[in-house]
Each structure stands twice: as C-alpha cells, then as structure tokens.
Amino acid sequence: MLLQMEKITKLYGDVAANAGVDFTLEEGEVHALVGENGAGKTTLMRILYGEETPTSGTIRLRGKELVLRSPEDAIRAGIGMVHQHFMLFPSFTVAENIVIGREPRSGILFDRKKAAEEAARLSAEYGMPVDPHRRIADCPVGIQQRVEILKVLYQGADIIILDEPSAVLTPPEVKELLAAIRGLARRGKSFILITHKLQEMMDVSDRITVLRDGRVVATVRAADTNVDELSRLMVGRELVPLEKRPARPGDPVLEVEGLTVRGGRGKAKPLLDGVTFTVRAGEIVGVAGVSGNGQTELVEAIAGLRRIDAGRIRLCGRDVTGADARDLRRHGLAHIPEDRYRWGSAKEESVADNAAMGHTDSAKRSGFLLRGRLRRMAEAWIAGFKIKAESPAVKAGSLSGGNLQKLIAARELAHGSPLVIAAEPTRGVDIGAMEIIHAGLLKRRDEGGAILLVSSELTEILKLSDRILVLYEGRIAGEFRADEATEEAIGRLMAGVTDHAEHAVSAGRAGRSDGADLAASRG
C-alpha cells in the first residue's frame, strides 16, 4: 500500500469536516474521490497536501508515518497537487513554469537552456507533448493543464492530486487528459481525482471513494458500480428525474443585435463580434462554448456591467442599449452571475444582506429597510432551496460554494422577472444543488420567463435548453434545436471546427444516449 490515511478527523469548531475518514491509494492506481459540496473532499486533500493539519488521525506513506505541516513537506514526500484554478505565470514560458521553485542553475544564474531541456525530457518521458519555449498565455487551457501536471512531476511527485481537472476543458481535451492520466498510472504514478463528473471518473478510475457529510459512505471498484449507484451514494437518496415539458415560446423578451465588444488596447480581435440572437418568453436558450470565448463579455454586456462598442439590445421591446444595471433590473432583468464571489455576493456581509440585494425596492418604507420582511424572505429561500446556513445572520463567506450559489439563484429567481440570465449557474456545485437550481430555472421558464443560460458545461446546456447557440471566439458558430443537438456536433463547434456540414442532424444522438454524465442521463 502506497498511502494510507487512517481515521482522519478534522473539526472546525463543532463541525466535523472529516469524521474518521479512511482512504488508501496503491501504486499506479487512479482513485477518485467524490461527494457533494461540503462532503469533505477538499478538506481531506488539503490535509494530504499539508495545507491543513488533521484534528486526529494518521497518514502513512509506504507504511511510514508522515506529518505534513506545509505543502513543502508534502512535495518533499512526493505528493503534488494540481488546483482547479491553475497557478501558472502567463507571461513566462512553459519550461520556466515547470521548473519554478527548483530552477536549474549555472552558478548563481538561472539556466534557461537546462530548464528547457528538463521540460522537454519530462514531456517526452511521460508522453505529454509541450513546447518548452511557448509562453503560457499563448497555450490553450488543455496545454496549461499539461504544464501543471509536468510541474508536479518535475517536483518529483509520485502521488498527484487533481482537483476538478476537466472543469475548463473541451470534450477532446478531456479525452486527452484521461488518456494521459492512464498513461502515467501505467508508469507507476498514482492519482487522486476530485471530480463531479461521474462518467469521466468511471472511465479513468480504478477505485472510487464516496464521501458524504465528512464520512466515507463507500469505497468501490469502478468496474463493480455504475453512475446511478454512485449518485445515490453521494446524495443519500434517489434522485428525482427532472421533468421537462416542451417549451411554448411566446413574444421576444431579449433581442440582441450585432453586439460587439472590442478587446483592450492593442488587441485586434474583438471579444464579441456581431452577436445576434433572440430569447423568447417561455424558452431557455443555451449558450455553449469553452470558457473564454466571449461568454463573460456577453453576459456582462447584457447585464449592464460592461460597455458595448456596437450593436443594440432590447428588453421586453424597450431599447436598453447602454442602460446600467439599475435600469435593466427595473425593466425586467434578473442575473445569476458567472462568478459568485466577484459579482454575486459580498462575502463579509451577512446572508440576509446578501439576499436583500435587488429586493430593497419591495421591502422599504420611506427609505427604511423592512428588515423583518427581508429576513423572512431569506429564511423562505433557505428552506425552499435547502441552503445549509445556520441563520440569515451568518456571513455569506461562511457558506460553501454550492450553498452560496443556491442563495444567489433563489434571490434572482424570486424576482419573477421576464428575463433571467443564468451564467454558469451550477459551476462547482454538487448534484443536489444542481437539481434544485435546474428545477428553479425550468419552473421560471414554465411560468413564462425567458432564460439565457450560459454554460461551459455541455451536459447542462443539453439538459435544459430549448435552443442552443455555440459561441466560439466571440462569434456565434452555430445554432441547434434541442432535439437535433448532439454532444459531438456541439463539441466540434466549441473546439472551432468550422465544417458546418458536420453538425447535420443525421449524426444521431450517440453523445446523449451514452449518458456522458449523470446530468445528461437524468435530463
């Protein structure tokens, strides 16, 4: 046995993030760790990476007890971690990023040539091709991730922790990543994989450990289980399949015409280039695409948070081009923002205060807040969306990501506004929260709301949308009706394959019937 974590317990105050967790890893094994948000996966991995010390429990590496006080200790013991958000220096080269922290030297100087050689050697040895001299900023996300893994290998890791590695990748990039993981495992490297994507995990893992409420619910061999069983184990109950009736689109609510947002100074390529589309009442229009292809700009422009350079936007028949967020909200916009911390909340303020944003107009009397009413409103959302919060008085930042996201979704859907922009509404949230948010969006649609769903999660797009647009490099690369969309066809457009003949309907629905992810198979 390479690694044994025994009876790991981590208490935060009275709350046990981990309660007597046993976890083992064998040499050359890929061991997936799954569970809902707040189940304790991250805590367990932070303990293994030396970022947290356990309240009790022991870690053994090759039978020897290990005390980890910092990530440096972990790296020295051969444990490396690739975070969900890459930690690379964009303006430096691939080689420089790989050797950072342990740079080869000649005398007191940094030996750039040696660094490039090292990078090339590693890349060849492990079969993960990269160009050592290319700047990170010029590398696609898939390559950046490869660099992250090479960096960890360069540091001498035998155990590699990958946190949500496929969250930002296109479908072909995910395939490559999974192949790379299998290849490295064959060479004796061991992986711990944290992920929400069950099918992906089934494909690549040897064993799967399911955590719930800080405890191990089960450790199973991937070959002996299936996606349905795993999701049951994670959630602790049967999932109710989402009921989706056919859409009955009404009048146009959002009309976007020729929307253009130019890049910063010196950037020739516009971030958004003549984007035109319409969202009608009672339909969900999904915008698919790999993140960074203009989705952020599109959402911010429509929500009044970014200046547009050309084009017109109409909301409920009214020209709202250039209007600010205040006017847009008054004229019927609700917005679940892409980044819940940047736009969607104030971490240091209470849940009640965070819930009140945008609702003060309906809960005030001559300039005074009706705090009681706001509080009851927040309490109703906490109950209705099953938000785990001790009370509306606790800081929003103390909520887990998924629970904060539910709060934001509840707050925005509660307006009952004609238009809802839902940008990455379930990014990084667990299945239970996803179910609730998806149900909320569909309910709003059935009530006659127009919903613009922007997501880099293809399964989410396929599950909810009535029409699908694919955004690639700031342009709409194609449009599909929900019943003719396949994961392959959309995936090709997302990756920039311009052969339009390919996305003909005849391609079939292989992508969906496979149940590429739980979300799709349940949809």
Partner 1 sequence: MRILRRLADSLRGLVHPLAALAAGLAAGAVAVIAVGGSVGETYAEMWKGAFGSFYYLTNTLARSTPIMLIGLGVALAFRAGFFNLGAEGQLLFGALAAAVAALYLPAPPALAMIAALVAGIIAGGAWSLLAGWLDVRFRLNLLVSTLLLNYIAIYVCSYFVSFPLKDTSGSAAINQTNMIDRAVWLPKLFKGMSVHAGFVLAAAAAVLLFLVLRHTVAGYHLRMHGSNPLFALYGGVRRGRLMAWTMLASGGFAGLAGAVEVLGTQYRYIDNALTAPGYAWSGIMAALLANSHPLGTAAAALLLAALQTGGMGVERNTEVPLEIASVIQAAIILFISARFTRALLKRRKARAADGTAA
Least separation in angstroms between residue 201's CB and partner 1 is 30
Using CB under 8 A, pick the residue from 97, 231, 345, 456 that binds partner 1: 345
Report the distance separating Cα 159 and Cα 46, nearest Å.
Answer: 14
Least separation in angstroms between residue 412's CB and partner 1 is 10
Site for partner 1 contains 337 (CB under 8 A): yes
Least separation in angstroms between residue 158's CB and partner 1 is 22
Site for partner 1 contains 510 (CB under 8 A): no
Site for partner 1 contains 46 (CB under 8 A): no
Least separation in angstroms between residue 376's CB and partner 1 is 15
Site for partner 1 contains 348 (CB under 8 A): yes
Site for partner 1 contains 474 (CB under 8 A): no
Query: What is the number of alpha carbons within 13 Å of residue 159 lying toward its C-beta?
Result: 23
| Closest alpha carbon to 325 in 343, 349, 346 | 343
Enumerate residues 251-310 that contact partner 1 by CB under 8 A: 303, 305
Nearer Cβ to partner 1 (93/350): 350
Using CB under 8 A, pick the residue from 7, 76, 182, 371 that binds partner 1: 371
Distance linking the first and last C-alpha atoms of the chain: 40
Least separation in angstroms between residue 355's CB and partner 1 is 11
Binding-site string for partner 1 from residue 55 to residue 74, where x marks contact by CB under 8 A and - marks none:
xxxx--------x-x-----
**Continuous H helices in 241-323:** 295-302
Using CB under 8 A, pick the residue from 141, 369, 439, 497 that binds partner 1: 369
Least separation in angstroms between residue 467's CB and partner 1 is 26
Report the distance separating Cα 208 and Cα 217, nearest Å.
Answer: 11
Site for partner 1 contains 220 (CB under 8 A): no
| Closest alpha carbon to 94 in 71, 123, 55 | 123
Nearer Cβ to partner 1 (106/360): 360
DSSP-derived letter for residue 350 is B
Q: Which segments of 13-114 are extended strands (E)?
A: 15-25, 30-34, 56-61, 64-66, 79-82, 105-106, 109-110
Nearer Cβ to partner 1 (324/502): 324
Q: Are strands 419-423 and 333-336 parallel, antiparallel or unpaired?
A: parallel
Q: How far is CA 8 from CA 46, 100, 353, in A?
A: 12, 32, 36
Question: Residue 499: exposed, middle, or buried by beta-carbon count in 10 A (0-12, 13-18, 19+)?
Answer: exposed
Report the distance separating Cα 463 and Cα 454, nearest Å.
Answer: 13
Report the distance separating Cα 89 and Cα 19, nearest Å.
Answer: 37
Using CB under 8 A, pick the residue from 342, 372, 499, 506 that binds partner 1: 342
Stretch that binds partner 1, among 188-196, 342-350, 429-437, 445-453 (CB under 8 A): 342-350
Least separation in angstroms between residue 53's CB and partner 1 is 5
Using CB under 8 A, pick the residue from 357, 439, 495, 507 that binds partner 1: 357
Nearer Cβ to partner 1 (344/478): 344
Site for partner 1 contains 323 (CB under 8 A): no
Stretch that binds partner 1, among 32-40, 95-103, 267-275, 345-353 (CB under 8 A): 345-353
Least separation in angstroms between residue 89's CB and partner 1 is 25
**Continuous H helices in 294-423:** 295-302, 325-330, 351-356, 371-384, 401-413
Enumerate residues 13-32 that contact partner 1 by CB under 8 A: none
Q: Are 422 and 441 in contact (CB under 8 A)?
A: yes
Q: Is 395 helix (H, G, I), strand (E, B) or coil?
A: strand
Nearer Cβ to partner 1 (339/447): 339
Least separation in angstroms between residue 270's CB and partner 1 is 23
Place of tokens 């005030």: 364
DSSP-derived letter for residue 239 is P
Nearer Cβ to partner 1 (299/477): 299
Site for partner 1 contains 515 (CB under 8 A): no
Backbone angles phi and psi of 319, in degrees to 5: -75, 115
How many residues line the site for partner 1 (CB under 8 A)? 38
Report the distance separating Cα 347 and Cα 396, nearest Å.
Answer: 5
Q: Is 411 helix (H, G, I), strand (E, B) or coil?
A: helix
Site for partner 1 contains 353 (CB under 8 A): yes
Site for partner 1 contains 329 (CB under 8 A): yes
Site for partner 1 contains 86 (CB under 8 A): no
The structure tokens listed for 392 are 């509306």
Site for partner 1 contains 325 (CB under 8 A): yes
**Helix 371-384 with 401-413: angle, nearest 10 deg:** 120
Enumerate residues 383-422 that contact partner 1 by CB under 8 A: 391, 393
Binding-site string for partner 1 from residue 227 to residue 246, where x marks contact by CB under 8 A and - marks none:
--------------------
- Order of strands, sheet of 333-336, starting from the edge strand that comes earlier in the sequence: 333-336, 419-423, 450-454, 284-288, 467-472, 475-481
DSSP-derived letter for residue 292 is T
Contact set with partner 1 (CB under 8 A): 53-58, 67, 69, 303, 305, 324-326, 328-330, 335, 337, 342-349, 353, 356-358, 360, 364, 367-369, 371, 391, 393
